[in-house]
Structure 1
Amino acid sequence: MRPARRLTLTDDVYEAVRALIMDHAVAPGDRVNIDALARQLQVSPTPVREALARLEADGLVRKRPLAGYTAAPLLTRDEFDELVEMRLVLETAAARRAAARIAARHEAGGEASRGEQTDTDLAELRREADLPGPAPETEGYAALAAFTRQDARFHNRLAELAGNRMLHEAVVRLRSHLHLFRLHFPTAHHDTSGREHHRIVDAVAAGDPERADEAMRAHLLAARDRHLPHFTEEG
């Protein structure tokens, strides 16, 4: 573990501790030793505590009175199924609403600024749809950190385009990508996921709520199937 850079100390410590948890270097359910982490990262305990507070909001650690922090347990199969069910409810609704808003803008017509904003939104969404492959000469979470961040940005941005603040916040609060990729790294599917993303963007850009719903549902169910082997391996 390299020492954290001083210019971006808080973010560096957060990323470093998150990587340890995602890679199970701090095993699920284990106590997090703040002083030991501070020594390992060559920082004071303060930024470690700040990082743990952020990770608690992410659902990756839990804080208990008088006991400190522990790494959150992995999702059980029932919890995994519940997470997928929640995503199907929230994210298909977001895709439908985003497509409907694009359709409404198209029907309004005649407003250059509105059309330009639509084009900008869709171009940004399409950029986020492409997912990077594993980083060379890395393994575990480090190999897929860029993938998980961009995957989250795509889904969060699409929810934002739905135009419902509470729906967007609910999608973001699920932190589904952190929990799923802590569970299992399906490293061979970044191209497949990217193609599924682009089918969603195509449907949204066409202003077709039904097709956007179907494309998002197909993507989430395919992503579910890519993670199911973990539960088979775990017995």
Structure 2
Amino acid sequence: MPEPLRRSVLSDDVYDSLRSMVLEHQLAPEERVNIDALARSLDVSPTPVREALARLESDGLVRKRPLAGYTVAPLLTRGEFTDMFDMRLVLETAAARWAAGRATAAARVSLSEEASRSYVVSTSHEAFTAADARFHDLVASAAGNPLLREAIGRLHAHLHIHRLYFPYAQTGSTRLEHERIAAAIEAGEPDAAEAAMRAHLDAAQARHLAVFDQF
């Protein structure tokens, strides 16, 4: 029994390492992935690397083509990014509304605590996106619809593909917006929770779209 556990932990560690390499551009967009070279650099066999790449493919961070192997996913285009936020507006405003009416007392406390955490202003896109995704997942979980939660999680994975630029100086705005959402859910106010989520997503989209005007 212990051996499968150790293998699972190793697989998770390799997945986390490769995901970080993609998000921080150590593996560049559209770069071909060399499994053997990665295995040597991580001091593991090729098997956990292949397992991690399969998970990253499910996340949308790498792509696999017949006879060509894996390549890192390209950055989102402006149109793709806009389409993704249109979907987030549909799904996540509903999640916030339902969370305000359905969340347990414990879930409301967890949301408020998560929203109040300080977002460290740094050059780590991965660290911020992990914190941001954690809050949005808590909202989706509190909505009480597993299918909705899964759909929102997949959209957040695609958001990570837009990783060339992030307005780190504006992370404080994200915290304030999250706090407004959490407060409305904690108060059990569906209209306010939906409005706060919509305002947050509109502001987040505007912050990110600035990069497309630079190229």
Instruction: Report the TM-score when normalising by structure 2.
Output: 0.89
Say if 1:131 and 1:150, in contact at 8 Å, map to a contact too: no
Which runs of 5 or more residues in structure 1 are unaligned? 1-5, 103-117
Structure label with greater radius of gyration: 1
**Aligned CA distance change for structure 1 residues 71 and 144 (closer, same or farther; 3 Å):** closer
Q: Among residues 117, 123, 127, which one is paired with 2:113 in the alignment?
A: 127
**Aligned CA distance change for structure 1 residues 214 and 127 (closer, same or farther; 3 Å):** same
> Which range is displaced more, 88-97 or 158-167?
158-167
Aligned to 1:115: none
Where do 1:169-184 residues align within 5 Å? 169-174=150-155, 175-180=157-162, 182-184=163-165
User: Amino acid of the residue matched to residue 140 of structure 2?
Assistant: A
Say if 2:109 and 2:186, in contact at 8 Å, map to a contact too: no
Say if 1:62 and 1:69, in contact at 8 Å, map to a contact too: yes
RMSD over aligned CA atoms reads 1.9
Say if 1:199 and 1:215, in contact at 8 Å, map to a contact too: yes
What's the % identity of the aligned pairs?
56
Give me the whole-angstrom Cα distance separating, in 2, the residues matched to 1:177 and 1:49: 23
Say if 1:75 and 1:183, in contact at 8 Å, map to a contact too: no
Give the paired residue count: 207
User: Amino acid of the residue matched to residue 192 of structure 1?
Assistant: S
Aligned to 1:108: none
Say if 2:92 and 2:197, in contact at 8 Å, map to a contact too: yes
User: Amino acid of the residue matched to residue 12 of structure 1?
Assistant: D
User: Amino acid of the residue matched to residue 143 of structure 2?
Assistant: A
Say if 1:125 and 1:157, in contact at 8 Å, map to a contact too: yes
Aligned to 1:193: 174
Give me the whole-angstrom Cα distance separating, in 1, the residues matched to 2:36 and 2:152: 34
**Aligned CA distance change for structure 1 residues 177 and 128 (closer, same or farther; 3 Å):** farther
Partner SS, residue 160 of structure 2: helix
> Which range is displaced more, 126-135 or 223-232?
126-135
Aligned-pair CA distance for 1:7: 9.8
Q: Does residue 162 of structure 1 match 2:143?
A: yes
Give me the whole-angstrom Cα distance separating, in 2, the residues matched to 1:222 and 1:35: 42
Which runs of 5 or more residues in structure 2 are unaligned? 1-6
Say if 1:133 and 1:144, in contact at 8 Å, map to a contact too: no
Give me the whole-angstrom Cα distance separating, in 2, the residues matched to 1:85 and 1:65: 32
Aligned-pair CA distance for 1:8: 4.3
Aligned to 2:18: 17
In the TM superposition, what whole-angstrom CA distance separates every residue of 1:26-54 from its partner, at most 9, and x where no partner exists?
Answer: 22112111011112222211111111011
Q: Among residues 128, 145, 150, which one is paired with 2:131 in the alignment?
A: 150
Give me the whole-angstrom Cα distance separating, in 2, the residues matched to 1:203 and 1:187: 26
